[in-house]
Amino acid sequence: MPKLIRVTTVPIALKYLLAGQMKYMKEHGFDVIMVSADDKEREDVIRNEGCPHVVIPMTRKITPFADLKSLWKMYRFFKKEKPDIVHSHTPKAGLIAMLAAKMAGVKTRVHTIAGLRFMTAGGMTRRILVWMEKLTAGAATHVWPNSRSLMEYIQQHKLVKQRKLEVIGEGSSNGINLGRFSVSSIDPAKLEEAKKLIQYDPSLTYLVSVGRIVQDKGIDELLSAFTRLYEQNNSLRLILVGSFEDELDPVSDQARQILKTHPALIQTGWRDDVEYFMHLSHILVHASYREGFPNVLLQAGAMGCPVCCSRIEGNVDVVEHEKTGLIFNVKDADSLYITLQRALADRPYMQTMSVQLRKRIESCFDQKVVHASLLAKYQAITAA
């Protein structure tokens, strides 16, 4: 039985970004071990996936001394386990796991790139992040960007040798569970809970944004555009589903003030049940600056919620402008404002595009399809 070790920096990535994947590989003949730093999601991951989990401390920030300790522990763990494949996700886990696996003599070293942090960085931080990406890719034997547009960006910037690059299937790290993300799967009792939380009023129009409330997710532009729209139509509401992480990636002072005081903002905090807020909303807005392959767009599309998103790598792999949704210019509050004006003015058109988006998701990004494609690739690698 081939041994597969999956590594992420923190267990929340195993729980949400790769949900069900480790279990699937175990059921199809792999001995699977999960690795990450410790956190509250660890027990959920072990229970959900039915695979053992090993804690190796890692940080998300640039911490050279702590990273060297992590590298040594990861190396010793790989030497002991002798895996056939080490497959890493997330930047820090990728750097440490790929270097440790190469040092330990692991034959197959796979890293998935799901977005590049340096895209939105500058100065010395950007140079360090670029160097880290190149170091990770240099130690890997296979590098799998999770979208075609992201692979094109990597090729243009010569970050990875061409022979190592491949997109599995049509992209996406994990696809989407259409058994869960479907209008037919809505639980009436949970729907009522969501309605109470946002004080739902059917006479109002709801926009929703799902993701961390940080600058990189375009929160500044979203709040700027929304406040302008609200001045013209006070029946609008904006639901923000996500945690406020101002310390890691601060929003502007103006955005922070709007978040504190605007009467039409509804902040739910981090939620597992995002599909209920998508179901209650008229438009999902995704203003992110950078993505690998955005699960939020898959979730909204699967729930039949019309989409407006920024023109960036990853987003454009899911949404085709004026066919399956509307796309606005990234970091451009005016473009976002105009796009939302258009979307709100022609709701039937938005609904027609949402039907087409659901069809595309069913054919290309169903989780069963994505898992089967990944399994076939693992089997081909181990048979070589």
Tell me the pLDDT tens digit for each residue of 69-83: 999 999 999 999 999
Q: Which residues contact 156 (CB under 8 A, 6 or more apart)?
A: none
Give the model confidence (pLDDT) of 225-267 as tens digits.
999 999 999 999 999 999 887 666 688 999 999 999 999 999 9
| pLDDT higher than 70, residue 61 | yes
Q: Which residues contact 180 (CB under 8 A, 6 or more apart)?
A: 275
DSSP 250: P
Where do we find the tokens 């981090």?
A: 270
Per DSSP, the chain holds a count of helices (H) and strands (E) of 16, 12
Question: Can you name the CATH fold of 3-175+367-383?
Answer: Rossmann fold (3.40.50)
Query: CATH top-level class for 183-364?
Result: alpha beta
| pLDDT higher than 90, residue 116 | no
Give the model confidence (pLDDT) of 149-190 as tens digits.
999 999 998 999 999 999 999 999 999 999 999 999 999 999
In the prediction, which pLDDT does 120 show?
65
Q: pLDDT grade, residue 114 (50/70/90)? A: confident
User: What is the percentage of the chain residues whose pLDDT exceeds 90?
Assistant: 85
The distance from CA 81 to its chain's CA centroid, rounded to whole angstroms, is 29
Q: pLDDT grade, residue 368 (50/70/90)? A: very high
Q: Rounded distance, CA 50 to CA 355, Å?
A: 36
The answer to whether 87 touches 377, Cβ cutoff 8 Å, is no
In the prediction, which pLDDT does 221 show?
97
In the prediction, which pLDDT does 130 show?
86
| pLDDT higher than 90, residue 21 | yes
User: What is the percentage of the chain residues whose pLDDT exceeds 70?
Assistant: 98
The answer to whether 370 touches 172, Cβ cutoff 8 Å, is yes
| Strongest mean pLDDT among 51-65, 120-134, 193-207 | 193-207
The alpha helices in 82-120, defined as continuous H runs, are 91-103
Domain assignments of the chain as residue spans, ordered by start: 3-175+367-383, 183-364
Q: Which helix (H) or strand (E) holds 154?
A: helix 148-156
Q: Rounded distance, CA 188 to CA 182, Å?
A: 13
